[in-house]
Amino acid sequence: MNIIADTNVLLRAIVRDDPAQAIVADVALRNATQIVLTLQTLCEFVWVLTSRYRRPRPDIAATIRQLMLIPNVVADRRAVAAGLAIMDAGGDFADGIINHEGLRQSGDLFVTFDVIAAGILTAAGNDVTLLTVAT
């Protein structure tokens, strides 16, 4: 069976903070022919690990890279690589995904109020406008 793993299943399998759910998650993942990890799931996964579990960003990036090595994991690997590149540069995984998907869908310019995202995406060669509020 090809499963679409919800963020909570992925979290239980990785974090193991609920032993009973971790076992059930392991069985579901182990028995899957394919494990589909959507971009939304991965963005949420990073956000929860960062905000709730206070995991270091390099550890989160390493975990995602390990997940991408699993043969039966299906994901948009180019988008994941874009997210990881921005994350490795000190930005948010989701910003890399948003920019990648925006470019794929014919966007030209990343616009944001986020100074850090603007700087990192600009340094990576993207066209970015930092929006400001006139005072």
Q: Please, what is the average pLDDT of the chain?
A: 97
| Statement: residue 31 has pLDDT above 90 | yes
Enumerate the domain spans of the chain: 2-75
Is residue 14 within 8 Å of residue 73, measured between CB atoms?
A: no
Query: Looking at residue 13, what is its pLDDT?
Result: 98
Rounded average pLDDT over 104-127 = 97
pTM equals 0.93
Burial label for 69, CB within 10 Å (0-12, 13-18, 19+), is: exposed
Side chain identity at residue 128, one-letter code: V
Confidence of residue 135 (pLDDT cuts 50, 70, 90): confident
